[in-house]
Structure 1
Amino acid sequence: MAAALQLSLSSSFLASPLPSSTLRPTASRPLRRLLISSATAPSSSSSTTLNLPKKKHWKVGEYPGVSEASITHFSSNNKNRTPIKNIKKKLDKKNNAKAWANTVTEALSDAIDKKQWLRALQVFEMLKAQPFYQPKEGTYMKLLVLLGRCGQPGQACQLFDEMLEEGLEPTAELYTALVAACCRSNLIDKAFAILEQMKSLPLCQPDVYTYSILIKACVDASRFELVDSLYDEMAERLITPNTVTQNIVLSGYGKAGKYEEMEKVLSRMLESTTSKPDVWTMNTIISLFGNEGQIEMMERWYEKFRNYGIEPETRTFNILIGAYGKKRMYDKMSSVMEYMRRLSFPWTTSTYNNVIEAFSDAGDAKHMEYTFDQMRAEGMKADTKTFCCLIRGYANAGLFHKVISSVQLAGRLEIPENTSFFNAVIYACSRAEDIMEMERVFKRMKDKLCQPDCTTYSMMMDAYRKEGMSDKVYDLEQEMQMMTGKTCKEYHDVETDAAPDGEKVLLI
């Protein structure tokens, strides 16, 4: 385990370095260390110019371009100008005059940022009651996206209808957001009905983004026959699939184990002029093999894409770290992290989550806590996945009192409680054989309007079987079939059928 904390460069597949151009820090890739070279003392040769005014050398984009002549003119005019007094008092008075408006709008923005959809809708109702309120497309767009991400398609449809009642004209972007909300909850038929509405409105015609969202939903649901029909419809409308669309289909075929179809899509991308493979294609392929534990294939394809001219990004390295972590290859995991540091790629929340997850799966609470402490020390914000990994890790280590403290810390940090979060707590309760607490968590999950999934029901039924509570198992099976449309056996069969054959590889 100690190897995980000793970062080295022993990884053989990372032997080919990135071009030197990527070593230079840019605005989007800040260095984590302070640069102190500009603070060095002036040399003796510059002593003759000490009486001259110092010039500030601004970086490009850091300060607006102003000529020296205009600066001199501005300074001379300021000599005769009376300084403005009580600026703070005037600003405070202005802010106090708009205090209520700022409070409501800021509260709405805060709720959206924290993915608190119920609170966001409540604040939005307060906002609509104010005399200054005007319906805006941007506000509805943000709320529709939020509701879609939080698995609330019904609320999204209701909000869309309210928007129309307020007289706001729908756009293709708003309709696409509504389609996405339905697709995220696997309401494919509803999404197709919305698509038909779009096609009937001249100013709301679907575009490549609309079709890409629908294609992703069909791919995730393994309804590949609908993917072909959507491709045909795009061709009729002269809409060319872009790289994003092709990457979605590529990923779907890979997850379903359809390697031949996946190879055909990749071949088309290599021959195309409009949908060339990019770093997302690279991430999709190496993520596929990484998730299946095929480390050699992952490394081989990493090198192939590098030779094709595609440069890795932070997410690429995070995928590698996650794959190595799942196989407990801590030396290579550490090597990639050190490689990122050397090339000034920032460690992100996902980077730390992958390391925490690796120790969580192994039940290594000591190194998991060390990584989490380092994450917080660097000012990195934890998210829902972070606490899911912590909770499961403590459960695997048998430290159930720390599960409770982790849940309490998540509450203090206002971490969004989604299905994965409740599943992690239910998993911990199951490991602790605490049926009563598990049932309380399940009830709270429903009270929070958080939809249980097949994993939720499967874990609870396994816990009931261990206790010989057959009646509880039967009740959950009925509820699961009603809520998800599957029985527990069908769920496990689908998961098994979808697993790719480990002997199959891409031939390109």
Structure 2
Amino acid sequence: MAIQFLKQFRQSLRPKPWPLLFYSSSSNDASEGLVTNVVSILTHHRSKSRWGNLRAACPNGIDPVQFSQITLHLKNKPQLALRFFLWTKTESLCHHTLESYSSIIHLLARARLSSHAYDLIRTAIRASDLNDDRNRRFASPPLNLFESLVKTYRDSGSAPFVFDLLIKACLDSKKVDPSIEIVRMLLSRGISPKVSTLNSLISRVCRNRGVVEGYGICREFFRLDEEKNEISKRGFGFRVTPNVHTYNELMLCCYQEGLLEGVEEIWSEMSCKPDAYSYSVLMAAFCEKGRMGDAEKLWEEMRNREIEPDVVSYNTIVGGFCKIGDVRRGEEFFREMELAGVGTTASTYEHLVKGYCNVGDVDSAVLVYKDMSRRDLRPDASTLDVMIRLFCDKGRVQEALEFVRCAVGKFELVPRESYEALIKRLCLEGRMEEALKVQAEMVGKGFQPNSEIYGAFIDAYVRQGNEGMTEALRKEMFATQMQCQQNK
């Protein structure tokens, strides 16, 4: 079906004499006179009297062909043409079709009024969708609008980026398939959208359908599997090449999908100079696999190429060393980052805090956390959870309580795991009153106790020989579990 669709659409776009679409042979003298009169009023009358005179000149409104003819006469007055279009809609004087929309869209694109042209493209797509015009060849409104734009392109003296605006409108409306077909049709005629437009489409395909399909679309659109002489033989005297952002997006999507080998493969195919972000993504892949030696070599290569590391680069390598427990090296890069004047972020500090916690150095983690707090950098709840678990494991539950309450008060964090760790430790130490207070705080934040929390309280009361509380909690836990199952 897709191949048949492509053939049909390519057939419709074969080079041929362009018709004078705006000057139909059926136009009669009265219609031509109305067009001339409207153009005269628009261009020669003052704004105060213009619209009243137009109303009198068009008692029965105007048809879409007449509107397109008028628009053609206003090529050098795009703002006036736009006001006229909006006036016809407000006054319901013209039942606009895709052709009349195309005429005003082209005029605005020609004048580089991109935002206005984009807005009308989206309006035209919605209007076509609502009208359900069964005379159209395609079920897809964007493709019908594309066909209309192609037919009226030359007469309007438009600009090629009108098709970039159409593709952008499709992507913003989550219409990926029409976007792909439009690009294919343009490429078949030797016209290419901007690289940034192709990158946006590739990115959307990667995120919606996976990097494998996005990579395939990339190779197709940039003709990476064709030699230059093959392209020339087929009549395409151009070759758009991917830029660094193309490769960065593909590598990032591979990394996010866990295809770490794919990151290296795309890196090896890069036909342009990588930037700091390119290095960061590949370093992240190395760090994920614990290949810090390769990450450091990459860092040196980046410096040798005089590419300055940015905050993402520093955070990546700091996080990589902290993850494998080499917090000392992470600190070295952290200090280098500060000396280079690269602004640290919450992520920078979180890597170090978690790194120190992973090696059991809670005091160093506290120092880093306090420095982070002084700079008003908001930590993630997971970072606080790691610290609180370590505090509790070391029996420093009072400090843990202070940390949680301070973080909740200052940063409005909701660290469920921290509350659970505190309750379990307090129950283990038999400090039931404090455990109940923490549990009340947790419920106040919207977290209901789970089976582990109930278990911690029950075990504590069993050790104290409090059979009444033990039995009451068991019944409450059973009732809570039944309620949860019913809610599901």
Which protein shows a greater Rg? 2
Q: TM-score w.r.t. structure 1 length?
A: 0.41
Larger helix share, 1 or 2: 2
